[in-house]
Amino acid sequence: SQTIHQWPATLVQPVGSPLSLECTVEGTSNPNLYWYRQAAGRGLQLLFYSVGIGQISSEVPQNLSASRPQDRQFILSSKKLLLSDSGFYLCAWSPPDRGNTEAFFGQGTRLTVV
């Protein structure tokens, strides 16, 4: 069966520090991968998605970047965190085939920038 792991679960970082959140998927190949931010009052916002290794699409301009160094690994990064980067970040994957487009979510990372 497929599983998705996301870590860390919580993170407190000072302003200006770097960020690296990691997400890995097991039990499937060539998944579509997503990073979302879930903010109170703003719902679920798609940040990045990837359809393959090295292929990243950004949905909103921001202080963050994403990379996919391996087929089932998706990393969210920042060189210098801002206070506004605080939030709840969700990684998700969906099957690549058209017939099944359900998205499966990780447990999320609560990021607090202080």
Partner 1 sequence: AQRVTQPEKLLSVFKGAPVELKCNYSYSGSPELFWYVQYSRQRLQLLLRHISRESIKGFTADLNKGETSFHLKKPFAQEEDSAMYYCALSGGGGYQKVTFGIGTKLQVIP
CB 49, min distance to partner 1, A: 6
User: How many chain residues touch partner 1 (CB under 8 A)?
Assistant: 24
Binding mask 19-38 for partner 1 (x = CB under 8 A): -------------x-x-x--
3-state secondary structure of 84: helix
Binding mask 80-99 for partner 1 (x = CB under 8 A): ----------x-x-xxx-x-
Cα–Cα distances in angstroms (integers) from residue 33 to residues 9, 103, 107, 108, in the given order: 18, 9, 15, 14
Residue among 95, 78, 104 nearest 5 (CA): 104
DSSP-assigned letter for residue 85: G
**Residue placing its CB nearer to partner 1 in the complex, 34 or 113:** 34
Separation CA 23–CA 6 (nearest Å): 4
Which spans of this chain sit near partner 1 (rule: CB under 8 A)?
Answer: 32, 34, 36, 41-46, 49, 51, 90, 92, 94-96, 98, 101-103, 105-108
